[in-house]
Amino acid sequence: MKLSDSLRFHPLVRNRCIHAPLLALAALVLWSLAATGALARELPDFTQLAKQYGPAVVNISTRRNAGMAQLPPHFSLPDMPEGSPLNELFRHFFGMPGGPGGPGKLPQRRSLGSGFIIAEDGYVITNHHVVKDADEIVVNLNDRREFKAEVVGSDPNSDIALLKISAKGLPTVKVSRNVEVEVGEWVLAIGSPFGFDHTVTAGIVSAKGRSLPDETYVPFIQTDVAINPGNSGGPLFNLNGEVVGVNSQIYSRSGGFMGLSFAIPMDVAMNVVDQLRATGHVTMGWLGVYIQDLTRELAESFGMDKPKGALVAKVTPGSPAEQAGLLVGDVILSYNGKELENSAMLPHLVGRTAVGEKAELEVLRQGKTQKIPVTIGKLPQEEQIAAQTQPQGPANEAKLGLAVRDLTPQERAQLEIKQAIGVLVTQVSMGPAASAGVMVNDVILMIDGKPVANAAALRQLVAALPPGRSVAVLVQRDNGTRFLPLRIPKK
């Protein structure tokens, strides 16, 4: 029977003891209650998931000896009266008898993090930064057992570490390598924020494929799950109980949760884990380019309808990119058929490509697209090849509002400019160059795709540029290069 029918046949209604407005109000209240109940029934229930997989989540504590306390030469501790508060101070820092850690030793530092068991014989995943430089790692299980752990391997580029404890028959999580998370779906985190073991928090996926400063090889999952210090290394579950990410970082102005947290996707994490188990270390693919995003003005200068892809600002000598023929000013539009919406996507894709594997780049060069094959190399240990986010700054000549001079041979050698190109910016005033972001001491290498040999050549190139158009200017600043969008003023 419909709600309206049940109300119509109610005795009070049949006896006309209720007015029509009150009838409508009653119907609205009943409808609201029914809708609220339906909504409550649709909210996820995490109780079974927490019960089933909570025991596989561990607390990780580390200890690191801070080293020996050293007194300056020819300095001795003074004799203090018994009971003086300074006695305790000297005991603490200089290892007087009774001081923590014994004579001459500073106290040990402890850090707390989380992790989860992926194999019954004791393999545990956590974050690299949780166990970095630790002298001792202790894994605490849900049932209060403690185990000392060995580091199988740890990778700073992905922030993943693999530990091993001596135990059998341990509870494990269900790892998802191939399940794609969707923006808006519910996720659950279990960890030890501030040392509070097995704390459960939930939220939704806010975004995918996020790039963070200094973290160029991981396309992070962004969530609004409450993650705090101590959650690092813990699992992020979907509603099917599959681990889809490793909680790694938060964005915070206060040091606590502010609504933005980031997890390493499990396909990235497990690729690292496989390599750590096999060899104890991780190799990542390397292309050898410094790249940047395209702004609307830069896209216009390259004849593009909209900003997309990765703009090559520098090619590393001897790199796979140089061997393949990539040039400064190329715009990489796709990698192995996957379109690049922005430059941040490229390091993720290259880093996960096997060393020695061939890849195909679609490149925009001087208004024409072409396919360039490249053999991916091994990321050098000291390299941090990434979308280099160098600070914006000003650049250009007379009618552009700047003064330049030729480089000396010594300056060219110091700046490692091997070609006979480049002019040094000595002054920037109000004008198009300043608006573009050119700064004093920038070196202008190219303008509109043409190399700048000297100051006279720059004046000629600028004079030939069509007024009102945006052109790309390549500048070198602090040994890094980037393109700046320069709009030529109308006459």
Min mean pLDDT across 78-92, 148-162, 354-368 is at 78-92
Q: Is residue 386 part of a domain?
A: no
Domains held by the chain: number: 5
In this prediction, residue 404 carries a pLDDT of 85
Same domain, 196 and 273: yes
Same domain, 332 and 411: no
Q: Which is more confidently placed, 141 or 401?
A: 141
Q: Is residue 172 part of a domain?
A: no
Catalytic annotation present for 129: yes
- The answer to whether residue 335 scores a pLDDT higher than 50 is yes
In this prediction, residue 19 carries a pLDDT of 58
Catalytic annotation present for 121: no
Catalytic annotation present for 232: yes
Among the options 154, 158, 192, 232, which is catalytic? 232
In this prediction, residue 195 carries a pLDDT of 84
In this prediction, residue 419 carries a pLDDT of 76
Residues 6+ apart with CB under 8 A from 215: 159, 249
The segment with the largest mean pLDDT, out of 21-30, 65-74, 159-168, is: 159-168
Among the options 129, 198, 224, 406, which is catalytic? 129
Q: Is residue 47 part of a domain?
A: no
Same domain, 409 and 477: yes
Domain of residue 419 covers: 398-487
In this prediction, residue 85 carries a pLDDT of 52
Q: Is residue 383 part of a domain?
A: no
Q: Is residue 171 part of a domain?
A: no
Q: Which is more confidently placed, 370 or 209?
A: 370
DSSP E strands in 197-309: the ranges are: 199-212, 215-223, 235-237, 242-250, 261-265, 285-286, 289-292
Q: Residue 469's closest CA among 491, 437, 440? A: 491
In this prediction, residue 298 carries a pLDDT of 86
> Can you tell me the distance from the alpha carbon of 121 to that of 56, in angstroms, rounded to the nearest whole number?
12
Q: Is residue 230 part of a domain?
A: yes
The segment with the largest mean pLDDT, out of 1-15, 166-180, 231-245, 429-443, is: 231-245
In this prediction, residue 207 carries a pLDDT of 92
Min mean pLDDT across 18-22, 271-275, 278-282, 401-405 is at 18-22
Return the structure tokens found at 292.
Answer: 């940047």
Same domain, 38 and 117: no
In this prediction, residue 258 carries a pLDDT of 75
The segment with the largest mean pLDDT, out of 260-269, 313-322, 375-384, is: 260-269
Same domain, 318 and 402: no
Q: What is the mean pLDDT of residues 231-245?
A: 95
- The answer to whether residue 389 scores a pLDDT higher than 80 is no
Q: Which of 378, 409, 436 is the last residue of a domain?
A: 378
Same domain, 274 and 293: no
% the chain with pLDDT above 90:
39
Same domain, 338 and 408: no
Min mean pLDDT across 24-38, 253-267, 426-440 is at 24-38
Q: Is 373 exposed, middle or buried (0-12, 13-18, 19+ CB in 10 A)?
A: exposed
Among the options 159, 197, 330, 448, which is catalytic? 159
In this prediction, residue 166 carries a pLDDT of 95
Same domain, 117 and 184: no
- The answer to whether residue 294 scores a pLDDT higher than 60 is yes
Q: Which of 249, 279, 309 is the last residue of a domain?
A: 279
Q: Is residue 268 part of a domain?
A: yes
Same domain, 363 and 462: no
CA distances from 303 to 50, 435, 462 (A): 54, 21, 18
| Residue 124: CATH number of its domain | 2.40.10.10
Q: Which of 102, 136, 164 is the last residue of a domain?
A: 164
| Residue 456: CATH number of its domain | 2.30.42.10
pLDDT band at 96 (very low <50, low <70, confident <90, very high): very low
Same domain, 153 and 60: yes
Same domain, 128 and 150: yes
C-beta of residue 439 within 8 angstroms of C-beta of residue 393: yes
Q: What is the mean pLDDT of residues 53-79?
A: 69
- The answer to whether residue 392 scores a pLDDT higher than 70 is no
Q: Is residue 299 part of a domain?
A: yes
- The answer to whether residue 92 scores a pLDDT higher than 90 is no
pLDDT band at 394 (very low <50, low <70, confident <90, very high): very low
Same domain, 245 and 331: no
% the chain with pLDDT above 70:
76
